[in-house]
Chains A and B, each alone.
Chain A
Amino acid sequence: NAGVTQTPKFRVLKTGQSMTLLCAQDMNHEYMYWYRQDPGMGLRLIHYSVGEGTTAKGEVPDGYNVSRLKKQNFLLGLESAAPSQTSVYFCASSYLGLAGIPETQYFGPGTRLLVL
């Protein structure tokens, strides 16, 4: 099992460019998440998905869009990148535990994005 994989690992963009980050999981998890991590701010949830075809906004969704067309994939898009989106992006997935509450999250290795 590969677990959670993310592509690319590193990317440099110019302001205004667009890109898509891909996350894939092979654990048949229902839930998938996109976080950004900035120094001193911990993890902040961008968007999440509770199943194929469904997405929801997290704490910091502005400037990002997501899609979950297949259960195993969760895409994060930046339509017009800004320097404030320079960050490390993590994807995670989890299964539903008791009472339908998400259980342990499994993380990918991260994507470092630099927006100039």
Chain B
Amino acid sequence: AQSVTQPDIHITVSEGASLELRCNYSYGATPYLFWYVQSPGQGLQLLLKYFSGDTLVQGIKGFEAEFKRSQSSFNLRKPSVHWSDAAEYFCAVGPDSNYQLIWGAGTKLIIKP
């Protein structure tokens, strides 16, 4: 079955430290992969996406993600987090049989001053 797992419900990182958010998926072929961010009280915004080509993709706000086919992962990274990065992050893969996205449950990022 197709699925997306974000193993960490919460992650706490000190401001200025590096960040890695994990995303693992189960999918029969090469999926389309997305990371979205949701700031408190807001809708979701696309950070980056992977469809094909270079497996290291750059996104907005200094984020990047790497597609690793052998590990079925698409982890999100940032070298130095800022207090404004505190938000919830969602990984999504697709399409499913109805051409829709399969969403992870999200990881809430907490930034320590």
Contact = CB atoms under 8 A, between A and B. Distances in A.
User: Interface on chain A toward B: helix, strand, loop, or mixed SS?
Assistant: strand
User: Interface on chain B toward A: helix, strand, loop, or mixed SS?
Assistant: loop
A97 B99 CA distance: 11
Given A40-B105, A101-B32, A107-B45, 10 more contacts: A40-B9, A41-B105, A42-B90, A42-B103, A45-B100, A92-B44, A101-B94, A101-B99, A105-B44, A105-B46
Interface residues of A, number: 26
Interface residues of B, number: 23
A12 interface: no
Contacts of B106: 42
Interface of B: 9, 32, 34, 36, 41-46, 49, 51, 90, 94-95, 98-101, 103-106
The 7 lowest CB-CB distance pairs between A and B, nearest first, are A107-B43, A42-B105, A107-B44, A43-B103, A42-B103, A109-B43, A104-B46
